Structure 1
Amino acid sequence: MARTKKASEKKSASQKAAARPADGKKLRKKAKRETFSIYIYRVLKQVHPDTGMSSKAMSIMNSFVNDVFERIASEAARLAQYNKRSTISSREIQTSVRLILPGELAKHAVSEGTKAVTKYTSNVAT
């Protein structure tokens, strides 16, 4: 018996045309742009539940997080290279944070990072 397609399974002419261009080559999928937006938003809601954020402000915060991440990663890579190591450990990250962030901010970042690593290792062990 031949199986008939349901109305929801049938593709319209425009969907078929969109699947392949006229020359028959496959279309490339648009690369997803990964951002920290959802995490920034979650932290904002934890700190100030009734406050929102514009898309421009979110873009600036995302750039800031990417910049700090890049600085810490490159400094950690440099430290690993100086010490003839091929792996970046939490120790290199911690030292990088101390070198990059000023004073009290570095202390808070290190304590929060240590807390996060401890929480992760305790959850992995169970």
Structure 2
Amino acid sequence: MRVSSKGITVLNNLMNDMFERLANEAARLTKYTARKTLSSREIQGAVKLVLPGELGRHAMAEGTKAVSTYASNNNGRQSKS
């Protein structure tokens, strides 16, 4: 199975647009809370606001799983150094 270069371009544009929407919403939430640091809390809130229903819940679950995996892999590397 292959993906054409036009297909890749469409997917790239979709992902860039989604990143921009989430980043803007997370930045807006950070301003509302009068904080200067963007945290995972604002990202989770942005996902809930930008992605509807089941899609948002699935994105939250996958994001949490990815961060957990990263943290466990990263902690193992630090202790070996």
Do these two structures clear the TM 0.5 threshold for a shared fold by scoring above it?
yes
Q: CA deviation at 1:102?
A: 0.9
Residue 101 of structure 1 corresponds to 51
Q: CA RMSD in A?
A: 0.8
Cα offsets for 1:8-35 (capped at 9, x unmatched): xxxxxxxxxxxxxxxxxxxxxxxxxxxx
Segments of 5+ residues of structure 1 without an aligned counterpart are 1-50
Summarize the alignment of residues 32-47 of structure 1 with structure 2, pairs less than 5 Å apart: none
Question: 1:105 & 1:71 partners in 2: Cα distance?
Answer: 15
Q: Determine the C-alpha separation between the residues in 1 that align with 2:74 and 2:6.
A: 37
**Greater per-residue helix proportion:** 2
1:112 CA displacement: 0.2
Larger radius of gyration: 1
Equivalent in the alignment of 1:18: none
Q: Which has the higher contact order (CA 8 A, sep 6+)?
A: 2
Q: What is the distance in 2 between the residues matched to 1:61 and 1:94?
A: 23
Runs of 4+ in 1 over 2 A off after TM superposition: none
Choose the corresponding residue for 1:111, options 52, 61, 64. Answer: 61
AA partner of residue 101 (structure 1): L
Query: How many residues in Structure 1 have an aligned counterpart in Structure 2?
Result: 76
Q: Percent identity?
A: 55
Query: Partners of 1:90 and 1:118 in 2: how far apart?
Result: 12
**C-alpha separation between the residues in 1 aligned to 2:73 and 2:39?**
19
Question: TM-score if structure 1 supplies the norm length?
Answer: 0.58
Q: Partners in 2 of 1:55 and 1:96 — Cα distance? A: 31
TM-score (norm: length of structure 2):
0.89
